[in-house]
Amino acid sequence: MIWGQHSFPDDTLFRLAFGNLRVYLYRRRREWRWSLEYSDIPEEASFTEVGEGQGASLTSLTWQRMITKEVSEVVVLGPRLPDRPLSVSPQEQVQIAHNVQVRLWITLPLWLRLSCAHGEMVLEAGSERLSGSWLGDSVGGRMAYTLKSEPRYHGESDPIRDHHARCSLSILNQAVAPFVVSKLAIPTELLNLYQTKDEPGGEMYTSEVKLLHTRDHEISVNPLHHRDFPKLAPLVPARVRGVDNFWKRSVGLLKRIGNYS
């Protein structure tokens, strides 16, 4: 896996691949230049030096520039969860009967953060291109990303790609009518990111999310530590520590989102 520190000499072109993301990157003293694009075909994560012959064929790329304080010949690559909540739509609706609690899991696309040796960020980008959407009403809502991800039952150990993380959902329906899960709000900026140690590299997991559907057709979202790894320290802590005002207002707000009631 690409996570961790890498030697990065000046005037050396590197190619970074992560899911659908492709980045060409080089540095001259404190100035960084990179070109970012997305491919329709996911690629295994890699961070490699580009040879002189291949670099000459990249003159058509559009470059961005940034100046930083640090000049160390070391860069740090690390995973992140998206910086906005996700509005997740399953391809097929799931119905949960009265007084039934189920555990499902979905996959969330990771972001990649590239920073200097002492933490100064150079760039951050998603492994997939996600479209923006508005989550909530016109007054109390906020920007989110739209994602299609098919829920699977807990215990199904389907492999996931290295640019994804598993997110467990514990859903309880306390309403009399069946709860039709056609859209879920996942507060990714409130979730910790974990990495299992069962195998080299290990899969990525997020905190578990608890959803409660009540007789008043309300949904509460409560980020928890991951139930299956209670003693595992987070690889990356949540972007936002504690519940912000938006998620405090989520009970009663999410019931007004289409397809929730």
> Average pLDDT in the 248-261 region?
43
- Name residues whose C-beta falls within 8 Å of residue 59's C-beta, 6 or more positions apart in sequence: none
Using one digit for the tens of pLDDT, what is the confidence trace for 54-109?
A: 655 677 788 999 999 988 889 999 999 999 999 888 888 889 999 999 999 999 99
Q: Say yes or no to pLDDT of 256 above 60.
A: no
| Structure token pair of residue 157 | 């150990």
Please report which helix (H) or strand (E) contains residue 41, including its range. Answer: strand 31-49
Where do the domains of the chain lie?
A: 4-79, 81-110+128-256
Using alpha carbons, select from 125, 115, 23 the residue that is nearest to residue 72: 115
The pTM of the full predicted model, rounded to 2 decimals, is 0.83
Using alpha carbons, select from 36, 33, 8, 32 the residue that is nearest to residue 22: 36
| Rounded Cα–Cα distance for residues 150 and 26 (Å) | 38
DSSP summary character for residue 107: E
* Residue type (1 letter), 154: H
- Name residues whose C-beta falls within 8 Å of residue 125's C-beta, 6 or more positions apart in sequence: 21, 23, 36, 111, 112
- Name residues whose C-beta falls within 8 Å of residue 241's C-beta, 6 or more positions apart in sequence: none
pLDDT band at 254 (very low <50, low <70, confident <90, very high): very low
| Rounded Cα–Cα distance for residues 45 and 79 (Å) | 11
| Rounded Cα–Cα distance for residues 162 and 42 (Å) | 10
Using alpha carbons, select from 110, 122, 34, 36 the residue that is nearest to residue 74: 122
Rg (CA), the chain: 20
Pure H helices in 39-190: 52-55
Using alpha carbons, select from 53, 66, 74 the residue that is nearest to residue 119: 74
pLDDT band at 38 (very low <50, low <70, confident <90, very high): very high
Which one is predicted more confidently, 258 or 155? 155
Using one digit for the tens of pLDDT, what is the confidence trace for 208-247?
A: 888 888 876 556 666 667 776 667 788 999 988 655 444 4
Pure H helices in the chain: 52-55, 245-248, 250-253
Reduce the DSSP state of residue 212 to 3 states and report it. strand
Beta-sheet pairing, 164-173 with 209-213? parallel
pLDDT band at 255 (very low <50, low <70, confident <90, very high): very low
